[in-house]
Structure 1
């Protein structure tokens, strides 16, 4: 009886019940192999099935051409000797219902080959191993429960080829099985002629040591091999046209990358991948020690997670975002005179980077005391080694976008009066930042201090003219915001920032419990309460406009009392407010922008007093919202 295409996968479970077969010269260990066929987690039944069990050698790390040549040579020898090289074993039932089959085989490396379905499973058979081998078919990807008892064998691991594997996306069945293995795994899917890779296809497969991909693969998406820390071999087939930034994050042992001679897009030199013209360095995952880079462009995440990289001499034009992210041992960077574009977060997480120097003649950048500055020294682009309490030089007037993004260990910052601007996300996600003093600041841009959980108080000077509504978003401990009495644009009250006339609520980052919006407020600004996860109830008395994303992500907000004064509700205003049971929308609301209630669930209700959708409500006002909508509610 043949296995049909719709069966999900085949799993070996080998018990270590070996016995000795002695000859006059040596002892041969033999093992009783038990085969179980499974579909959707349930055993299949039958009387008998026939498979070719083929002894093989050196299966991994061979090209398809080499394997074919070797097979041809073996077959030729076999014909000369008058014996078939590939022995055929008949699997007979091992239990009453016929769902298990068994055969006794000697120690060695084998391939199970079900000819009608072109299904191949490689397995090493040896002493003391608790073997469990799987073959995977994507058409039954949901049958993941059957994998719960499957683990890779010790020693060689598993190599799977299956023509039915198609798109391998994030958290796919094959990825989960390899990632959960406690032993090294080598994977060969070159025969999967319809396979493609998706985002994070093999993410976190730290047991994966070798991977051979089919020619059908045309792209390596972002993070598809990220954190495969023991991956040592990978092939780039002839059809690969795109390798996205971040594909090889923390693949520090990937020293052997084989590019097909037929590939016209990429080349490999010293374990680094370049575009074919060698002007763009795509990735150098195993870079270590002192290196020099002379390509015109270093792509995003090209060196991300290279733990043994200590020094780099860069003579290129552009360094893309996160290029040297989390290079833990990187101590020094030298920028040549050609460098003119260092993007945000280029050195984020590289805490050992104490020396940044710039070649004389560079017209864009300068460096001082571990800081990357503009040529004239007025703008600060990065200070990767900043820790504890720091004071910026008085020569600086602007902290650029993402300058300190995500830096841990930065506790307090003093920006001298000469510093007038803090850029987008300049200090965002600084998890240890608790104090900021900026007596001369004029402009605080979007998300400048967002997600700083320890930031408890901020003093805003009278010089401040613009503070974006998301500047302190998700700063849950920021209960004190003091605005200088002489400020003509803003005033502070109860941990919130208001316009000077009190008509606009700019931001209330640590709002919690039950609150009432002051009667003077007519506009709740964009991102004003964004992700205030401790906010439970809000009452509006005179509010006319609820801005975009105003209450986005207030996960524990249960009650919203909208007054009859409300006229406009902005896009995503109440997105992800998943605890609101019933929101009553008064008839005064004339405009609701798109996705205002994005991600609301079926257990939530929107009760509109209007009898039908008003003309001013966007056609997508409740797009991606499963909440029930009731009209004409009194």
Structure 2
């Protein structure tokens, strides 16, 4: 009795029934042998305790926690035990033919049927599984298929204070009403509830993140008086077309409406201070967006993939356009507001409908790939305050024909204008110092004047440039970088004013129109494939500083006569091969490395070696076609 009273006060009466039932069962079993065959009150009491524990106390200990939404495991266990007793009784009855086993059969049958019947009792608590939360409980699981849910105030004799994370995840509920007794709804509580259409929330409930994440059918919701709309709250709510945002709202967190692609009708309150990253991303209904001047912070990608977007009014307290803000939007024209001072990386990336973009001179920084893939943009005037052209700035913006680089710019970044296939004219500032890798690759430049201040030309800067026929490299450049003019098929003439020390690999590879190259002395190394496929190059001045000629360096060229100075120590594989025009080459026996098939397929060639014999360090197959060799004295 004490156990029952104590556990009832703690709202754990089912535990009391279980403990009492076990005590009675053990006590009655212990006394059974002593009094079972005797007639009297002791026997009656003993039988009462035994059957009371079996048919009342222990079943109640299983039924109560189920009906109160605590757990269904004891009830399941009771059903299994009852079925086991029922089955065992039948087996014993068949084997022993003893009618006393009928008690066992009926006991098991009673427990089995009783536990099954409990599942059909229409009690509210059965629909929910709860756990202790604050000074009450919160719902941790919804176990019903009913489409309408009004969150109960009391479950398991305790006040319901909240809804736990994932409690209604993937449920079939269609409408939910949350009363003012609920203080908190946990993360992703109604996520993936694909039938959920309507939600009514009272004013003071707080929300975790992603509460309605991917609730694909949600059409109507009444929001509480929120300060912040948490991240992912309405992400991928594809049926949501309108929403009334509370006038207390100060923040919209990251991804709050991401993928809510049909959302169009809403008004941002004047209390709003920030909009998080990708908050309205992947929307295909918003055409005009107006943010109040109370907004002081924007995250990146707020309008990411807004395919119908036509205009945006920025808060006057925002002086920057964050990274990815208009990435892959449907903007056709846009004018940067005067209060905007910087534009982030990928800000307009891949907005392929953008035809007009107006900048102003007070913009001082533009991030990487900001105007990348703007394939319909035909002109752009870069701000005069820029000091650097960021990498990939106009990469693949293929309709622009003319660019004027602002006077203060010192550096043009990696691939800044790469893939601008219609770019024919560019004006560089007089103080420019550096042009990084692939800056003008795959453009149609007809001419370009490199300023005297230029001291660095990166790899592949003019690779695959069409229409460019001549160029002068300024004096501060001391190396022709990797692939600098690779596949510049219209290039005919190159003037190098500085004393270069190295021509890197692929430098003029497949520059098939190149006829002449002029440079000052001090060249030491010519890299692999440096002049490979220069089918119009008939002469090259090997200065007496050259020491290394790389693999395939002049293979496929049109050189007719070559004189290699005594300084040359290494000649790479196939270096002068595939040249039907080459008639004479003179070299010294001081060359200590001669590669494989250096003179392959040179049908007119005669080789002149200044010396007395072929050095041992030369590859045996350097002259695979056995072209004639003549030894000469120095």
Q: TM-score range by the shorter chain?
A: 0.3 to 0.5
Bigger Cα Rg: 2
Q: Taking structure 1 as the reference length, what is the TM-score of the superposition?
A: 0.37
Flag the structure with higher helix content: 2
Whose RCO is larger (CA < 8 A, sep 6+)?
1
Q: Taking structure 2 as the reference length, what is the TM-score of the superposition?
A: 0.37
Flag the structure with higher strand content: 1
